[in-house]
Amino acid sequence: MIRTLLLSIIMTFQSNSIDQLLDQRASTELIGTQKEWVEYAWQYGIKPEVGVCIAVADTGLGKKTDFKYNYGNVGRWKYETPSEGIEAIYRTLSHKSGTLEDLSCYNGCKKGIYAESEYNWHHNVQTCLRGFYDYVPDTFNFKL
């Protein structure tokens, strides 16, 4: 059912991509369900795979953070549930401009960026997104 929902929403990527990322990169703690990632993405108007790739780039889907359930390294706090950590990524992205290059200091730091990294964050998110798309330009639009 969830796979069918996801495939109907995102037609351009391989059917196992999000499952593979969640399975391969999952911490020992629950990281939420595929359905939660998709539902929050739709609620906030963001492509689901972008949130997953940000979580992979920022914290290895929760493996590399001191803040519980803060998969997207949003703020410096812990969340009470995996669902709160997932929602924080998409809620934060919904207030940003719609292109990948505007989320970090990749093209120079601007007000309202998501990540301060000048290269690694941008490169890691872009590499992850290539698992979903054949071509991911710097101007990739992450909004639905």
Domain borders along the chain are 2-9+18-129
pTM confidence score: 0.74
Measured distance CA(103)–CA(114) in Å, rounded = 5
The string of pLDDT tens digits covering residues 112-131 is: 667 777 778 888 888 888 88
Question: How does residue 26 score in pLDDT terms, banded at 50, 70 and 90?
Answer: very low
Q: What is the Cα–Cα distance from 21 to 62, expressed in whole angstroms?
A: 12
Beta bridge partners of 46: 143
pLDDT in tens, 69-81: 777 777 777 888 8
Say if domain 2-9+18-129 classifies as CATH 1.10.530.
yes
